[in-house]
Amino acid sequence: MIQDMLQSSPGLGNFVIFFILGLVLLLIVLGFVTFSILAERKVMGYIQLRHGPNQVGGRWGLLQTVADVLKLLLKEDIIPKLADRPLFILAPIIAFAPSFMVLATIPFTENFQFADLNVGLLYYVAISGMTVFGVLLGGWASNNKYSLLGGARATAQMISYEIPLVMSVLGVILLSGSLNLNEIVEAQKNGWFILLQPIGFIVFFIASVAELSRTPFDLPESESELVAGYHTEYTGFRWAFFMLAEYVYLFAMSALITVLFLGGWMAPFGFLDFIPGSVWFSIKFFFVLFVYLWLRSTFPRMRADKLMEFAWKVLLPIALGNIFLTALIKSLFF
């Protein structure tokens, strides 16, 4: 349906339809973010022998995040006197917009995808790289020393880890012969890339944790060192936008891992095909999500200098070696 519409001539009617579709996706994503925050708090709570939220919205605390968001929207919006006002206002938007844009290209099921781009993967990586501007600007514009340090750390970390992230996924591209995410899923019909590309997967996963700046790579925020890192001075809905960006990326990254390495919407075995693709996608997706939460509640934080060392001296050589190995295997066996 969307393919037909993309090829139809531009007009006001089409614009309205696309706008509404975008709005619907935004609402779905916001709904997901609401519950992924709840899931994070619940999972961490259970690991930490607590119950997690259980007051607002029944005993599972289903409305807790909604209440939190309402609170954030009602809060006073503080802009520090000596902050760089235009940049301070702009930063959360720059940080959030790309996180939502990358969702367009992810194929959730065979039919449910917004833009079937031929360079889907490249688009994802390129657009997600923009968020770092928002973070850096936010850190700079706040005119706060902690924010500045956090912003600088975030920039260094995200730029360094983007390289192993892309390099590790090159193996997948070599094997599937395409940058189109749909075709990458199709190429996994006979075996998921997690089995064919175990090294690539591990490197990609580690780099993705760093990209999302979650524990053990949560240096940009590093609560116990930099108070709150780049968003120390942000309050209310501006702060909410930074948080939203973070969780939308969590959503996007989990989806991307599912697509790239876990076979997307496809069933693991042929005889399980009767279960719809959306169910398979969600199962895999939630598993990846759980692993992220699990890591977060187990590990301490890495140190900034070791973090950079790890990216450049460990992950990058491994990723490059993986490309070489994959190319060798591809030319010999396929």
Partner 1 sequence: MLGLAKGLKYTLKQLSREKVTYDYPNEPLPLPDRFRGIQKFYPEKCIVCNQCMNICPTECINLTGKKHPDPTKKGKIIDTYDINFEICILCDLCTEVCPTEAIVMTNNFELAEYSRDMLFKNLEYLDENDENVRQVNKP
Partner 2 sequence: MIRTEEMILNVGPQHPSTHGVFRLVVKLDGEIITEATPVIGYLHRGTEKIAENLQYTQIIPYTDRMDYLSAMTNNYVICHAVETMMGIQVPERAEYLRVIAMELGRIASHLVWWGTYLLDLGATSPFIYAFREREMIINMLNELSGARLTFNYMRVGGVKWDAPDGWIEKVKDFVPYMREQLKGYHNLVTGNEIFLNRVKGIGKYTKEEAIQYSLSGVNLRCTGVKWDLRKDEPYSIYDRFEFNVPTRETGDAWARYQCRLEEIEESLKILEQACEQFPAEGDIMAKVPKIIKPPKGEAFVRIESPRGEIGCYIYSDGKKEPYRLKFRRPSFYNLQILPKLLVGENIANMIAILGAIDIVLGEVDG
- What are the distances in angstroms from CA 275 to CA 183, 189, 192, 265, 271? 21, 16, 18, 10, 9
Write out the binding residues for partner 1, residues 277-316 only, by CB under 8 A.
294-295, 297-299
Dihedral over Cα of 284, 53, 44, 48: its sign: negative
> How far apart are the C-alpha atoms of 324 and 330, rounded to whole Å?
10
CB-based contacts of 315, cutoff 8 Å, min separation 6: 161, 164, 168, 203, 206, 207
- Number of shown-chain residues binding partner 1 (CB under 8 A): 11
**Binding to partner 1, residues 30-49 (CB under 8 A):** 46-49
Q: Which is nearer to partner 1, 117 or 295 (CB)?
A: 295
Q: Which is nearer to partner 2, 194 or 219 (CB)?
A: 219
Q: Kindly identify the residues of this chain, within the stretch 141-200, that bind partner 2 according to CB under 8 A.
A: 145-146, 149
What Å distances lie between residue 302 and 48, 253, 280, CA to CA?
21, 21, 34
> Is residue 303 a contact residue for partner 2 (CB under 8 A)?
yes
Size of the site for partner 2 (CB under 8 A): 29
298 part of the interface to partner 2, by CB under 8 A: yes
- Please state the closest distance from residue 295 (CB atom) to partner 1, in A: 8
Structure tokens at 135: 């973070």
> Is 75 among the residues that bind partner 2 (CB under 8 A)?
no
Whether 237 contacts 70, CB under 8 Å: no
**188, 268 Cβ separation under 8 angstroms:** no
- Site residues, partner 1 (CB under 8 A): 46-51, 294-295, 297-299
- Site residues, partner 2 (CB under 8 A): 44, 47-50, 145-146, 149, 215-216, 218-219, 222-227, 296-306
